[in-house]
A and B are shown apart, each in its own frame.
Chain A
Amino acid sequence: MATEEEIIKGCISGDREAQKLLYAKFSRQMYAVSLRYAKEQQEAEDILQDAFIKVFDGLKKFKGDSKLGYWIKRIVINTALNAQRNKLYLYPMVDVDSLKESQVEELTVSDYTMEELMKMINELPSGCKVIFNLYAIEGYKHQEIAEILGVAEGTVKSQYARAKYLLKEKMKPGWSGQMKASKK
């Protein structure tokens, strides 16, 4: 079985088998990332395709400073953000303080399957969704997200607060949205 280094070398020299191996190794993980940012499946597929073409084109620049998977994930996220940049309506939505957290105890994240969590994220408004992904799941800081998206830090904070509020609402027991929480 080819090592990661051999696969990278093969991809750089344009060996299609090596490119297929790299795709087979990372496509499932990257498709999950892509689905979190895209509005629909077709968009997620387009993002994944564009990202992998960029990966094959740019692999010669990969220095190995970070893990290959992390490097590819950044390309997938950037591709997703570029695809959505024109569609994002990012403006301060709400006064953060006005979003009082519900006193009703909500379920925890681990009470849901990944598909259910994915569905909850996908039901968020696009701006909220991107910021929630970048902050809560990818671990970027508010200021970094503001720089990436070219918006004010306050906008990022308020959009995130909105996303968190909406998700917590969905996680309340007996939430009557499209999705039903399945207690594991």
Chain B
Amino acid sequence: MGRENMSFEDQWSEAFDGAEVTPPDHLWASIDGVLANKEASGYKKRIIFFKWMAAASVALAVVFGVALLNEKGLDEHLVAGSVEGDVVIDNEERTNAESRK
């Protein structure tokens, strides 16, 4: 189709088809800066995440450690208690036996 037969819109569309204008050089530097900031903030977030993970691990280890120690202490206490009880019973039995004699 000749240009003279093209619609007004088609003429404009054709005029800008593949149009190029070189942007100023500083624009890439600016984009590069934004990308670098985003990258750095990504690392920062990751570091913060790992710090929290480390803190949470330590806290969990402490909680488990305390729980384990408590459980162990309780067991020892129970064992000691039961031995003491046995001794008392033994003593009572011995006293009863002696009084029967």
A residues with CB within 8 A of B: 14, 16, 19-20, 23, 27-29, 31-32, 35-36, 45, 48-49, 52-53, 56, 108-110, 112, 114, 117, 135-137, 139, 164, 168
B residues with CB within 8 A of A: 3-4, 8-9, 11-16, 18-24, 27-28, 30-32, 34-35, 38-39
| Residues in chain A near residue B16, CB distance under 8 A | 32, 36, 114, 117, 137
Q: Among B3, B18, B34, which residue has its beta carbon within 8 angstroms of that of A110? A: B3
| Residues in chain B near residue A112, CB distance under 8 A | 15
List the count of A-B residue pairs having beta carbons below 8 Å apart. Answer: 73
- Interface SS, B side: helix
- How many angstroms from the CA of A36 to the CA of B18 in the assembled complex? 13
- How many angstroms from the CA of A16 to the CA of B11 in the assembled complex? 39
Residue contacts A-B, CB under 8 angstroms, 19 given: A16-B32, A16-B35, A20-B28, A23-B28, A27-B22, A27-B23, A28-B20, A28-B22, A29-B18, A31-B22, A49-B27, A53-B34, A108-B3, A109-B14, A114-B19, A117-B16, A136-B13, A137-B12, A164-B8
Enumerate the 10 nearest inter-chain pairs by beta-carbon distance, A residue then B residue, closest first: A109-B11, A28-B20, A31-B23, A136-B9, A32-B19, A32-B21, A136-B12, A31-B21, A109-B15, A137-B16
- How many angstroms from the CA of A16 to the CA of B34 in the assembled complex? 12
- How many angstroms from the CA of A56 to the CA of B37 in the assembled complex? 14
- CB proximity of B83 to chain A, nearest CB, Å: 67
- How many angstroms from the CA of A29 to the CA of B23 in the assembled complex? 9
Q: For residue B30, which residue of chain A has the nearest CB? A: A49
Q: Are B15 and A49 in contact (CB under 8 A)?
A: no
- CB proximity of A60 to chain B, nearest CB, Å: 14
Q: Are B23 and A28 in contact (CB under 8 A)?
A: yes
Q: Are A49 and B34 in contact (CB under 8 A)?
A: yes
Q: Among B14, B20, B31, which residue has its beta carbon within 8 angstroms of that of A29? A: B20
- How many angstroms from the CA of A64 to the CA of B39 in the assembled complex? 26
Beyond A32-B16, A109-B15, A135-B9, 20 additional contacts (C-beta under 8 Å) are: A19-B35, A20-B28, A23-B28, A23-B31, A27-B22, A27-B23, A27-B27, A29-B19, A32-B20, A45-B24, A49-B31, A53-B34, A108-B3, A109-B11, A110-B15, A112-B15, A136-B9, A139-B13, A164-B8, A168-B8
Q: For residue A139, which residue of chain B has the nearest CB? A: B13
| Residues in chain A near residue B38, CB distance under 8 A | 53
| Residues in chain A near residue B19, CB distance under 8 A | 29, 32, 114
Q: For residue B23, which residue of chain A has the nearest CB? A: A31
